[in-house]
Amino acid sequence: MIITIITFIIVFGILVLVHEFGHYYFAKRAGILVREFSIGMGPKVWWRRSNGTTYTIRILPLGGYVRLAGTDEDEDELRPGTPVTLQTNEEGKVTLINASEKETLLEGIPLRIVDSDLEDKLIISGYENDDEETVKTYPVDHDATIVERDGTEVRIAPKDVQFQSASLPARMMTNFAGPMNNFILSLLVFIILGFTLSGIPTNSNVLGGVTKDSVAAKAGLVSGDKITRVATTKVSTWNDISQAISPNPGKKLAVTYQRDGKTYHTTVTPKATKQGSQTVGMIGIREEEKFDPVARINYGWRQFITAGTLIFAVLGHMITHGFSLNDLGGPVAIYAGTSQATSLGINGILAFLAMLSINLGIVNLIPIPALDGGKLLLNIVEGIIRRPIPEKVEGILNLAGFAILMILMVLVTYNDIQRYFIH
């Protein structure tokens, strides 16, 4: 169980880190201030500030986020009446605003706020030392920081470094970058899996090997032979061969094959073999494999496409056949899946990580407000109407989308607990 928990935290952490780094990297490139990059949720356990961004690790390893200037609501920290402590530079500009009771500025200026504008005018006004006869106004440095109530120090968010100040293409790329990174991670992990395999199945109709003294060997088949027909069925792939032989244990089958450009005929009687509760026919042949790097990379690409196709098929089924909570899975389902993947070793964990990553990327692109797909949809609408969507409208849509997601998360989590832990 401990190994499963550790694996779950690592897998979930990698998914979140890669996703959020996509948003972070392209926001930075666009000149958007990333106020905080957090791994985990809840109370912080560690933080450090560098190059204008505060990096935090929080206690719950479930999720993470980047706070982009102009997309968070931190002005509530400085409502009128809020007591703060100011730190100023030699020019008299405020360089730090302490709004936390957890941190103390020994040489700070105590101020009870009357008004503040940290976006345009960059000023803060209030009663110094609780002297309510005089309102003092201080200019605020463009790169000043604020210590929030939980003790985290982040940059203020002037208008010129806010998300909406970036160009529309830059904002769209920032929104898309999270899912894009998940796709890249998934593809890379599938390729890595290709390099862990002893050989890459080609799914061709060429025999990669024939077991000694097997049915196939006694029928004259050897490695390199190309099977073109089994009984009355033409075959061109390994799947075709398997589907022609497996359902016929004990039945005599005619086989046509090619060797050195010549066509030959023989017969085989598949040996009845138990596989679980089924009896299948086997003749002792192995699929052809390739071992070169190109084949391994192609294997990763094929697995990536197959995984994506499967996820789209599931989403399409949900749309056409009705929605069910059993079609969805939250952190509890991921934990249960992690347990199964861990039992399969490192390859099982890698395959699980790759599937989760592409799943996360695709689901995040669903055009629901509060998801990256919803944000991209609003960007597209903005490009069509050639003007920004009103902040109130966007705020209401995002709030509604967030509420729907939270309700859905609670229902999915409850359903997952019922499915996996309550019998």
pLDDT of 330 over the 70 cut:
no
Residue 77 has pLDDT above 70, yes or no: no
Structure tokens at 374: 């919803």
Q: Are residues 278 and 312 in the same domain?
A: no
Provide the 10 A C-beta neighbour count for residue 214: 16
Residue 123 dihedral angles phi and psi, to the nearest 5°: -135, 160
Q: What is the pLDDT of residues 251-277, one digit of tens each?
A: 999 999 999 999 999 999 999 998 878
pLDDT at 292 > cutoff 80: yes
Q: Are both 232 and 117 inside the same structural domain?
A: no
Average pLDDT of 187-214? 93
The arithmetic mean of pLDDT across residues 333-356, rounded, is 84
Model confidence pLDDT, tens digit, residues 213-253: 999 999 999 999 999 999 999 999 999 999 999 999 999 99
**Residue 296: its pLDDT value, please?**
94
Task: Write down which residue in 287, 311, 333 finishes a domain.
Answer: 287
CB 210 within 8 A of CB 368: no
Q: What local confidence, expressed as pLDDT, does residue 326 receive?
A: 61
Res 401 pLDDT > 80? no
Query: Is 188 a member of any domain?
Result: no
Whether the pLDDT of residue 35 is over 90: the answer is yes
| Average pLDDT estimate for 306-311 | 88
pLDDT in tens, 148-196: 888 889 999 999 999 999 999 999 999 999 999 999 999 999 999 999 9
111 and 208 housed in the same domain = no
| Residue 102 pLDDT class (50, 70, 90 cuts) | confident
119 has a pLDDT exceeding 80 = yes
Domain membership of residue 142 (yes or no) is yes
Share of the chain above pLDDT 70, in %: 93
Give the pLDDT score at 113: 92
Residue 123 has pLDDT above 90, yes or no: yes
Q: Please determine, for residue 143, whether its predicted confidence score (pLDDT) is greater than 90.
A: yes
Asked if the structure places residue 392 within a domain, the reply is: yes
Tell whether 273 and 309 lie within a shared domain: no
pLDDT at 253: 95
Neighbours of 212 (CB within 10 A): 7
Report the number of distinct structural domains present in the chain.
Answer: 3
CA-to-CA separations, 144 to 35, 97, 140, 259, in angstroms, rounded: 12, 8, 7, 78
How far is 221 from 232, CA to CA, in rounded Å? Answer: 19
Residues 267 and 343 in one domain: no
Residues 250 and 348 in one domain: no
Residue 11 lies in a domain: no
Give 220 or 330, the one with higher predicted confidence: 220
Q: Position of tokens 């208008």?
A: 159
Residue 73 has pLDDT above 80, yes or no: no
Same domain (yes/no): 303, 358:
yes
Q: Is the residue at 24 inside a domain?
A: no
Domain end among 266, 287, 308: 287
Q: Is residue 197 part of a domain?
A: no
Name the residue with higher pLDDT: 278 or 316: 278
Does 95 map to a domain? yes
Q: Which percentage of the chain shows pLDDT scores above 90?
A: 57
**Same domain, residue pair 319 and 360:** yes
Are residue 267 and residue 341 in the same domain, yes or no?
A: no
Q: Tell me the mean pLDDT in the region 48-55.
A: 92
- Sign of the alpha-carbon dihedral angle for 152, 153, 155, 156: positive
> For position 394, what pLDDT does the model report?
75
Average pLDDT, rounded, for the chain: 88
Q: Average pLDDT in the 25-52 region? A: 92
pLDDT at residue 74, as a whole number: 54
What is residue 160's predicted lDDT score, i.e. its pLDDT? 94
CATH classification at residue 228: 2.30.42.10
- pLDDT at 185 (0 to 100): 97
- At 421, is the pLDDT very low, low, confident or very high (cuts 50, 70, 90)? low
Could you tell me if 93 and 207 lie in one domain? Answer: no
Judge whether 117 lies within some domain. Answer: yes
What does the pLDDT average to over 47-62? 89
Residue 118 has pLDDT above 60, yes or no: yes
Report pTM: 0.81
Is the domain of 345 the same as that of 283? no
- Asked if 308 and 262 sit in the same domain, the reply is no
| Residue that is last in its domain, among 264, 287, 310 | 287
The confidence score (pLDDT) of residue 325 equals 60
Which residues belong to the active site?
A: 20
pLDDT of residue 369: 80
**Better-predicted residue by pLDDT, 418 or 220:** 220
pLDDT at 249: 92
Structural domain for 111, as ranges: 75-161
Name the band, by pLDDT with cuts 50, 70 and 90, for residue 314.
confident
